[in-house]
Structure 1
């Protein structure tokens, strides 16, 4: 019976959750996954790859969204998010090619956390 209640709660939470809240939750999830990899360094290469791939996919979605003509955000905000996304994709590639130090994940973790905090504040 408890599983049914949890499933019902999750279903309701998804329908009540705003897009901004969902984006913030996904950014926090990605930051937490990257933080776990950093905390357990050196990581299993598949765990590192999985965490970075999730983050890359998330940012690819953000970049696709902000570059659509029907996006309601101001042009300067859209451009800033796109530029940040390009930086994140490049940094992700560099870490995958040469994962030498855990502190290389710090920037990705901090950007995700700060953006999530901004989404939740508005």
Structure 2
């Protein structure tokens, strides 16, 4: 598939995908970026910094949304998301300060497992 065709498909998929699907796709994108950083084996590379920043921004959005009073999810679900988010954000901050690629696995696993749940594959 050509690059322009892939971009057109991605734009169309964004308009037709459910919010859960978009969240799952974005979590997988974050997990893949983190895995690419691990595979690159340079904890101080720009790729590593970008992967951690992307994951941190994503989870900041999730935590912020979970804490909104208008969020329709049950309180217990929102608290669980917020608790996981606090862990993820603290891990990202620690890894941004002292990047250790062997510590990325938990972040990758969390993103992939939640994406699977959102996609109904869990």
- Report the counterpart of residue 15 of structure 1 in structure 2: 15
Please, which runs of 5 or more residues in structure 1 have no aligned partner?
A: none
Which residue in 2 is equivalent to 1:65? 65
Q: Which runs of 5+ in 2 are unaligned?
A: none
Report the counterpart of residue 119 of structure 2 in structure 1: 120
Query: Is the contact between residue 42 and residue 48 of structure 2 (CA under 8 Å) also seen in structure 1?
Result: no
CA RMSD of aligned residues (A): 1.7
Superposition TM-score, scaled by structure 1 size: 0.89
Render the CA deviation track for 1:20-53: whole Å, top value 9, x for unaligned.
0000000000000100111121244322111000
> Normalised by the size of structure 2, how large is the TM-score?
0.89
Cα distance in 2 between the residues matched to 1:21 and 1:83: 22
Matches within 5 A, 1:1-122: 5-99=5-99, 101-121=100-120
Equivalent residues, number: 120
